[in-house]
Amino acid sequence: MRDMPTSKVYSYSEMLIEFGWVNLFAPVFPATALVSVLTNLVKVGAEKDSIGKFNKRGVPMGAADIGLMLDFFEFVAIIGTVNSVGIVIFTS
């Protein structure tokens, strides 16, 4: 089994942190998802020139799934759901 490239780990970690913020604080600030989408659109727009001009096309490699990162995403989703339910119950 080959190790995941460092750039992929960084990308998944960045997505996991953003997913955690959106998931954990949705009851407190419902517009978090909208802010996240707008932030990602701005980031893609800013990086699209450098992605197209300065990066070489990667070597295609097959993968069955995202590996251990899936467990992290599921954990954050479960904790976020419990957190959201707790916030709604205790503040209503």
- Residues, the chain: 92
Residue 76: pLDDT over 90? yes
**pLDDT recorded at residue 24:** 87
pLDDT digits (tens, 9 = 90+) for 26-49: 888 889 889 999 998 998 888 787
Flag whether 81 is in a domain: yes
Flag whether 50 is in a domain: no
Flag whether 73 is in a domain: yes
Residue 5: pLDDT over 70? no
The structural domain count of the chain equals 1
**pLDDT recorded at residue 3:** 53
Q: Round to whole Å and give the CA distance between 19 and 36.
A: 9
Flag whether 89 is in a domain: yes
Q: State whether the Cα torsion 58-62-68-69 is positive or negative.
A: positive
Whole-structure pTM value: 0.72
Flag whether 79 is in a domain: yes
Domain extent at residue 74: 14-36+67-92
Q: Which of 29, 18, 23, 26 is nearest to 79 (CA)?
A: 23
